[in-house]
Chains A and B, each alone.
Chain A
Amino acid sequence: MLRIILSRLLQTLVVVFLLVTFTFFAIRMMPGNPFADVKALTEENKAAMERLYGLDKPLHIQYANYWKNVLLEGDFGDSFSMKGRKVSTLISESFPISLKLGLFSLILAMSLGIPLGIIAALFHNKWQDYTAMIIAMAGICIVTFVLGPIFQLSFAKPLSWLNVAGWSRPSDVILPAITLCFGVAAYLARLTRGGMLDVLSQDYIRSAKAKGVSQLNIITKHALRPALVPAVTFLGPAFAAIITGSFVVESIFLIPGMGQYFVLGIQNQDYTLVLGLVLFYGILMGIANLMSDLALIFMDPKLRNS
């Protein structure tokens, strides 16, 4: 077990290192200029801005300085576009918001998707199965930027206690969470159905049935855990993706989460912000994958030895 954890962590570190290095150089190749503005920059202004942010130093020195600051001082640098804000502050302020929204979404998605998948598997090829799968397909196809405004206009407008957008009341989390959860719920339903069908066709299930175990006990005690393996494999990375925020949902519902910074960082050519986000996201992904693997090992004894 310890060996697995350590090797995964090492893998994560290597991946993150490569990711950040690639991004560091890729973002500097973008056309345009981080300091371009409607009001023209004089040559002197441009040079002054570059000096202020250390962009006048040779590339390898900038690269070395970046790692030095991150590893020794935990300083991800100052954002180019959000003047005076440290990237680490921007992340630490916005991540909890994205996390809250993401967790809500995920819980909703699991509550919706997994039961749907189980029902579909149990009534395989009957109308319940088809209905469930059509719903799942709809969830995958209807995108958030259609769903979001539909919810805003159908629920938030008429209901006085629900705001159209913003993040100032506890109830503000409801609509965006529902909007976000559909996609994940749909995938979970399909994966659960597939996993369940696979397990239900196994010999030991037939033995249990023959021995007189009730349908309910078959599902909950014998089939569920191994059936959820594909879903859990998916949940790891899905978790990381959801909790780092969806740009679209945050934009529609005016949520000050982390998702916005991904796009804003690129739009503004904010080198430090983009790098900080990539670093953070990479580590998060690595941890999420590790959690996913550990959960799998717990759930399916067959995997314990590999």
Chain B
Amino acid sequence: MIRIIPLLATTTLAFVSCERRSDIEIANEENILIVGNSNEPKGLDPHLVSGVLESNIIRALFEGLVVDHPSKDSDSVDGVAFKDQIEHSEDFTEWTFYLNPEAKWSDGVTVTAHDFVFSYKRLLSPDPNWPAKYAEMLYFLKNGEAYHRSKLGHILCGNDPNFPLVWETLKEANFEGDSKIKPQKFKNKKFSELNEQELKKFSPYLTGEDTPDFDELNSKGSDLEALSTANKKVLFNSIGLDKLNRKQLLHLKDNLSLIKWSDNITTEVKQLVIARILSHHDSGKPKLWDKAQVGVSAINDSTLRLKLRGPTPYLLEVAKHYTWYPVPKHIILKHGEINTAYSSPWTKPENIISNGPFKLKSWRTNHLLEVERNPHYWDAEEVKLDGIRYLPIRNYYTETRMFGDEQLHLTYTVPSELIPLAKEKYAAELRQESYIGTRYLRVNTLNSPFDNPKVRRAFALAIDQKSICEKILQGGQEPASGIVPPFGDYKPPGLIKFDPEKAKALLQESGYASTSSFPDIDLLTTNSDSGLREAEALQAMWQKHLGIKVRIQQREWSTYLQNQYDFNYDIAVAGWIGDYLDPTTFLELWVTDGGNNNTAWSSKTFEDLLRKAEKTSDITTRMSILSEAEETMMNDIPVLPIYWYTTNYLIRPEVKNWNPLLLNNHPFKFIEIDKN
């Protein structure tokens, strides 16, 4: 026992005489940038990730058609394609990209237009086992959505120029199916007991005498012979022509009225549609890539042509997103098939090949991910850094301390409690910049009291947004007047602001006699400290200005998410960061049954405006249509905006060319460590 003490003493002394230079001094000499990246990346496959921290790494490893401009939002520079050679049709629906023949993968193989075609085909894969979450980023491509969602009517009939009926008319028929009338949603209910709102859902599909029996549907749904006609109508229309199985299609052939068509469709056409879909089933459901004619093609090795679903003047903004990056066809096919998703073997450190300014050097789980210079990168001479080290620092206090101790060049964030300290001690290193995102409250409009828009509006106007920004967050955030943050040419309608008098008046009007008759409401938030403080502020504001006390419900992350997906909440704090610089990245979330909607709010007017904007090529007109769409939405107010995001972080003075960018996606090829 006693002998251990001298042993400890000598080992300690040995440490003392070790490395005295700080991590930063060593890294600066080696020209390596050390960044805090908040957590361990879930993967490096650009088609299978969805997080910001993963995109920080993917941006260094891969490169798309164009690259973010280092200092100007809404602008771009050469990527794999030559920016100044890009051509587009006058209505912005057809684009041609000429690729740099010097663009190479990190194994020396040339990047070709075929890699892009392969990549888009991969991301859009309709394979039911392909778990890509961001495939919709490629819906800008003509027929992209149809291919991804196996819209058989569209692909087999709509794309055929010789089909006796144009798709514009044919698509009135119920190809998509209607999830609102899914039998499972009406378990244990009787049709005769449904209220007016529920009955309306069925009216497009049933005639007067039809009386579906939900019990029978839910128990015997697959036995077509046993079901009544009314039941079959509900079943078939909930599924839709695109997804009926073979047995159902055969049955439909002899009973055309089981599906809702439209008046302009003749019996012959109906039979033709069914025949085509049936033959697809009969021939073993072959891959539909060619029939789908998705709007991406390689004219030759270095020319890529894109055909879009509508005028898209902002395409280059979209193309900066990592879902539009190429992936190496030759490497992916070497380690699996086009859709091998399970642990993406091609992304293992010993396999991965990429085309960006850096390539993967090492990846120690939960410890360090390191990238190094890619000598085959077409612009390698311009790249100043020799490598980047990403540290998965989950504890943001530790991250700030590490910055102060010269272990990092750049932090991921600064926790709001430390911002006053940072302003004092690290005034020169602290950056507080606008970040394109909105913090808002998602409202479940299915349940009272939030089914009443006046109540929703009252809650929105009772939020003292400025106080939250200035007293609680202190990160330079701005009160949000709507769901889309202001940027570039977009003019937000600006309908929401703090107005406690109006809030009180609205609550009165909404018919709740007194605040004691108000139902109990739970405010759902995450289990973080800052989330709690924010929630407490909201709770206090609603108490003060409306006299209503909500209960705060903190849940850990995955439960917090799942509760919203399951509509198991009243009102929840939420946020959204834009994927590209266009209002649609915020507005498209709110379409009917959108995966990230979860408010049960739905508006045909709103969606029609979005579709109209999709067809408008004039930039100014388009922006005002989108502004109108946002106004329509904020009149109904299914979400309550709180503030627009900023990003707060610490950066050492020797890091150059790290400029404020709304999307915060700084291109690493331009970053330099200035040793002077």
Contacts and interface: CB of A to CB of B under 8 A. Distances in A.
A216 to B, nearest CB: 12
B8 A108 contact: yes
Contacts of B595: 39-42
Interface string B591-624: 0001110100000000000000000000000000
A78 to B, nearest CB: 6
A237 B200 CA distance: 65
Contacts of B404: 157, 164
Given A39-B134, A152-B401, A84 B43 contact: yes
A157 B18 CA distance: 17
Given A48-B131, A84-B344, A108-B8, A39 B596 contact: yes
A251 to B, nearest CB: 5
Q: Chain B interface secondary structure, helix, strand, loop or mixed?
A: loop
Interface residues on A, range: 35 or more
A230 B395 CA distance: 37
A36 B364 contact: no
Contact of B556 (A49, A156, A254, A267): A267
A170 B14 CA distance: 9
Contacts, number: 166
A233 interface: no
A300 B651 CA distance: 60
A82 B342 contact: no
A226 interface: no
Most chain B Cβ neighbours within 10 Å, of A44, A90, A149, A169: A44
A254 B393 contact: yes
Interface stretch (A14-22, A26-34, A58-66, A291-299): A26-34
B82 interface: no
B398 A252 contact: yes
A85 B365 contact: yes
Contact of B133 (A45, A170, A268): A45
Interface stretch (B96-104, B462-470, B559-567, B665-673): B559-567
A16 to B, nearest CB: 25
Interface string B517-561: 000000000000000000000000000000000000000111101
A194 interface: no
Nearest to A108: B8
B590 to A, nearest CB: 13
A90 to B, nearest CB: 6
A171 B365 contact: no
B130 A84 contact: no
Nearest to A82: B365
A148 B529 CA distance: 19
Interface in B334-348: 341-345, 347-348
B5 A111 contact: yes
B188 to A, nearest CB: 22
A32 B524 CA distance: 14
Most buried by B among A41, A84, A108: A84
B18 A111 contact: no
A153 interface: yes
B185 interface: no
B1 A165 contact: no
Contacts of B367: 167, 256
B272 interface: no
Contacts of A81: 42
Contacts of B405: 156-157, 163-165
A165 B407 contact: yes
A31 B557 CA distance: 11
B473 interface: no
A160 interface: yes
Contact of B343 (A48, A83, A168): A83
B4 interface: yes
6 cross-chain pairs, A with B, having the tightest CB-CB distances, nearest first? A40-B595, A84-B343, A256-B367, A32-B558, A164-B405, A32-B559
Given A49-B131, A114-B1, A165-B393, 19 more contacts: A31-B562, A36-B558, A40-B133, A40-B594, A40-B595, A48-B128, A52-B129, A83-B344, A90-B366, A111-B4, A111-B8, A149-B401, A161-B15, A166-B402, A169-B18, A254-B402, A267-B556, A267-B557, A267-B558
24 contacts: A33-B561, A36-B562, A40-B565, A41-B131, A42-B595, A44-B128, A48-B130, A78-B343, A82-B366, A84-B344, A84-B348, A89-B365, A90-B365, A111-B4, A152-B398, A160-B20, A163-B23, A166-B402, A167-B367, A171-B16, A256-B365, A267-B557, A268-B558, A269-B558
